[in-house]
């Protein structure tokens, strides 16, 4: 039976050590500072990115991989006899999924490659990729892995607690007047991603503590006593509140697994430094 290899892109925010341990192939997006471009999480790691962003004074942008970038990986893996599951950033946020789909169509025989639209971002789907790779390493079939991917995708809960409105305003998601007023009132937006993979403003609160309490309230109401896996992601150098958020959720929920990770350059370019990501997966089906 052919072995299954997981392919993803850099916005899954999977730590390099984890990718290497599980044999996950990663195709990077690019991060752009004006005319300078860097391969996300290869030529520019998170800590370096946020330092550079602080001194840049403008909005860093990102660009998707080309179909050729994915094709090289798919061709190499299928030539070696592997089955491929490729899980990408939400198609509602980026053309990365489309590039992967085009790359599959460029193969002489594409039946060995399955492309999945995560309808998510950051470790919201990075966690799914990691779980799928663990199953692949354990010898699970492609069908069983895809079934678990779909279960996790359907049950994911995620929230991004944004520290500043500046990057949402620069990216055109809110107007300048709203950003200025929100900053004066210490408004902390809570973002989430809907079932179609679209970012939306879930709620907002005056101050970080109230925003944290709101997230905990919603999760406690939705998930009650179900056993959960919790991952909290932070932006390097801007970790205020992350530990407090983690402890609050642990006190309210039945957290059986806990991990921490970092929000990478591409996601950070759009959400801004100081963002906290909360990713919750039920462990029971």
| Domain regions of the chain by residue span | 4-29+64-154, 157-282
pLDDT exceeding 70 applies to what percent of the chain? 91
Which pLDDT does position 169 carry in this prediction?
Answer: 55
Query: What is the tens place of the pLDDT at every residue in 97-154?
Result: 999 999 999 998 778 999 999 999 999 999 999 999 999 999 999 999 999 999 999 9
Q: Which CATH number fits domain 157-282: 1.10.357.10, 1.20.120.80, 3.30.1180.10, 2.60.120.1090?
A: 3.30.1180.10
Which pLDDT does position 279 carry in this prediction?
Answer: 96
Which pLDDT does position 178 carry in this prediction?
Answer: 44
Q: 3-state DSSP call for residue 197?
A: coil
Q: Is the pLDDT of residue 180 over 50?
A: no
Which pLDDT does position 202 carry in this prediction?
Answer: 85
Q: 3-state DSSP call for residue 96?
A: helix
- Pairing of β 113-117 and β 83-88: parallel
- The topology under which CATH files domain 4-29+64-154 is Rossmann fold (3.40.50)
Query: H/E element holding 19?
Result: helix 16-22
Binned at pLDDT 50, 70 and 90, residue 2 comes out as: low
Q: Facing residues of 137 across strands?
A: none
Closest CA to 214 of 255, 183, 193, 245: 245
Average pLDDT over residues 147-173: 79
Cα 111 versus chain centre, distance: 27
DSSP code for 1? -
Residue 137 and residue 239 in contact, taking contact as beta carbons nearer than 8 Å:
no
Q: Is the pLDDT of residue 35 over 70?
A: yes
Residues 6+ apart with CB under 8 A from 260: 231, 232, 233, 234, 242, 246
Binned at pLDDT 50, 70 and 90, residue 182 comes out as: very low
Average pLDDT over residues 223-247: 90
């Amino acid at each position: 039976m052919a072995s299954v290899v997981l392919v993803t892109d850099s916005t899954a925010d999977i730590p390099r050590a984890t990718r290497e341990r599980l044999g996950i192939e990663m195709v990077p997006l690019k991060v752009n500072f004006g005319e300078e471009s860097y391969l996300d999480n290869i030529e520019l790691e998170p800590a370096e990115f946020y330092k550079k962003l602080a001194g840049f004074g403008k909005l860093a942008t990102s660009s998707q991989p080309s179909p050729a970038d994915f094709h090289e990986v798919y061709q190499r893996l299928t030539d070696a006899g592997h089955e491929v599951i490729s899980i990408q950033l939400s198609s509602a946020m980026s053309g990365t999924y489309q590039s992967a789909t085009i790359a599959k169509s460029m193969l002489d025989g594409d039946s060995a490659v399955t492309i999945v639209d995560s309808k998510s971002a950051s470790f919201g789907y990075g966690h799914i990729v990691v779980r799928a790779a663990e199953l692949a390493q354990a010898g699970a079939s492609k069908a069983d892995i895809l079934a678990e991917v779909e279960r996790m995708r359907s049950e994911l809960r995620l929230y991004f607690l944004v520290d500043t409105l500046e990057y949402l305003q620069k990216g055109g998601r809110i107007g300048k007047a709203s950003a200025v007023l929100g900053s004066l009132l210490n408004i902390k937006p809570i973002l989430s991603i809907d079932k179609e993979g679209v970012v939306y403003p879930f709620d907002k609160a005056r101050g970080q503590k109230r925003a944290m309490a709101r997230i905990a309230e919603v999760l406690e109401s939705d998930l009650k006593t179900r056993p959960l896996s919790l991952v909290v992601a932070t932006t390097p150098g801007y970790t205020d509140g992350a530990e407090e958020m983690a402890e609050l959720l642990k006190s309210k929920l039945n957290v059986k697994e806990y991990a921490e990770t970092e929000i990478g350059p591409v996601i950070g370019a759009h959400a801004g430094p100081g963002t906290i990501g909360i990713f919750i997966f039920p462990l029971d089906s």
